[in-house]
Amino acid sequence: MPLVVFCGLPYSGKSRRAEELRVALAAEGRAVYVVDDAAVLGAEDPAVYGDSAREKALRGALRASVERRLSRHDVVILDSLNYIKGFRYELYCLARAARTPLCLVYCVRPGGPIAGPQVAGANENPGRNVSVSWRPRAEEDGRAQAAGSSVLRELHTADSVVNGSSQADVPKELEREESGAAESPALVTPESEKSAKHGSGAFYSPELLEALTLRFEAPDSRNRWDRPLFTLVGLEEPLPLAEIRSALFENRAPPPHQSTQSQPLASGSFLHQLDQVTSQVLAGLMEAQKSAVPGDLLTLPGTTEHLRFTRPLTMAELSRLRRQFISYTKMHPNNENLPQLANMFLQYLSQSLH
């Protein structure tokens, strides 16, 4: 059954969307398995993404867990950041090898992944462009809000000095916003982020979030390993269950490459029979053309088809074509082709000579 890969930065609602999809598919009687960081590590640890060696080991464990679960009977949901396109390509190869479809669900946080609301007047003073953190530490909410208020006050003071106005001209609305900022953290934290806080106990520091944002490789539907792609912005947008079902259960699996396919079983005498059959066809052709005239249809031993005779053929020319046919047939050995080897060689001769 298919593979569903969730992709996105922290606090974008991936886990909640994955649970919503799992409940919807389980209600239909399907076996659904969810693979996430906590299932592999034992507990979600954001510090893993700050250590390249540990993160590489985590990706390997996630890939191995998906490979163990992936089959034609179960639905596997991978709930992780999956921000590296090379890792998403590896997952695509797993699904292709298992002959099962897959789709990608890209969760995006409204307003950007880490860019917070810009301070009023920042566009007028590019050198003092300051953004308020969109997710301050839980234990430093009061200090973070106070810092934002002080930044507002300093920016307005600088604007007042430049414009020749005095500090006494500060609007009362600004003072009310400063006093109410510490009392209402919802001014900085959107509703989707608050719901994500309740859904995950892990905390990603602002430095780690910024590093993940810089390393993030967004999915592109033009890449075969990123399609079909479903982009969800925030938690308010409904999950497209009908489209996801169609992509998972109605689409065909990615076609496997020839290099990843197992070679068909061939008997130990396949090459011997191939050499014997082609030799008989050549011997019959050299004998039949002695009494043939151009335009005759030659019947050769072991074949049900005919070869139109157009000109006398030398043994050197026929031996060269025979070697080419044997080299090509050895690359695709199949016991099912044994009864048709003579006809296949005759068709090859007909197409090469005319």
Could you please report the per-residue DSSP string of 182-224? TT-GGGTS-HHHHHHHHH------HHHHHHHHHH-----TTSG
Q: Do the strands 3-7 and 75-79 form a parallel or antiparallel pair, or are they unpaired?
A: parallel
Percentage, residues of the chain above pLDDT 90: 36
Q: Which tokens in the block code for residue 252?
A: 């065909």
Beta bridge partners of residue 5, listed in sequence order: 78, 104
Domains and CATH numbers, the chain: 3-135+201-258 (3.40.50.300), 268-353 (no CATH)
Mean pLDDT of the chain: 75
Q: How far is CA 183 from CA 119, 141, 148, 197, 198, in A?
A: 19, 10, 13, 19, 20
Mean pLDDT of 4-27: 94
Interval 209-229: pLDDT, tens: 999 999 999 999 999 999 999
Q: What does the pLDDT read at residue 153?
A: 46
At 219-278, the pLDDT tens digits run 999 999 999 999 999 888 899 999 999 999 888 888 776 665 665 555 567 788 888 889
Taking CA atoms, 136 is separated from 127, 143, 153, 341, in Å, by: 23, 9, 20, 74
Q: CA-to-CA distance for 220 and 162, rounded, in angstroms?
A: 46
Residue 105 has pLDDT above 60, yes or no: yes
Q: Cβ contacts of residue 132 below 8 Å, gap of 6+?
A: 116, 117, 119, 148, 151, 188
* Rounded CA separation 247/226 (Å): 13
- What is the DSSP secondary-structure string of 29-78? T--EEEEEHHHHHSS--GGGGG-HHHHHHHHHHHHHHHHHH-SSS-EEEE
pLDDT for the residue numbered 48: 92
Over 60: is that where the pLDDT of 134 sits? Answer: no
Q: Tell me which of 303 and 156 has the higher pLDDT.
A: 303
Q: pLDDT tens digits for 316-336?
A: 999 999 999 988 888 777 666
Q: What was the pLDDT predicted at 267? A: 57
Q: What's residue 266's pLDDT?
A: 55
Whether the predicted pLDDT of 188 surpasses 60:
no
228 prior amide bond cis, ω within 30 = yes
Sheet holding 75-79, edge to edge: 32-36, 75-79, 3-7, 102-108, 229-233
Cα separation of 226 and 212, whole Å?
19
Mean pLDDT of 72-82: 90
The pLDDT of residue 309: 87
Residue type, 337: N
Q: Coil, strand or helix: which one is 237? A: coil
Q: What is the DSSP letter of 261?
A: S
DSSP class of residue 5?
A: E
Q: Residue 192 pLDDT more than 70?
A: no
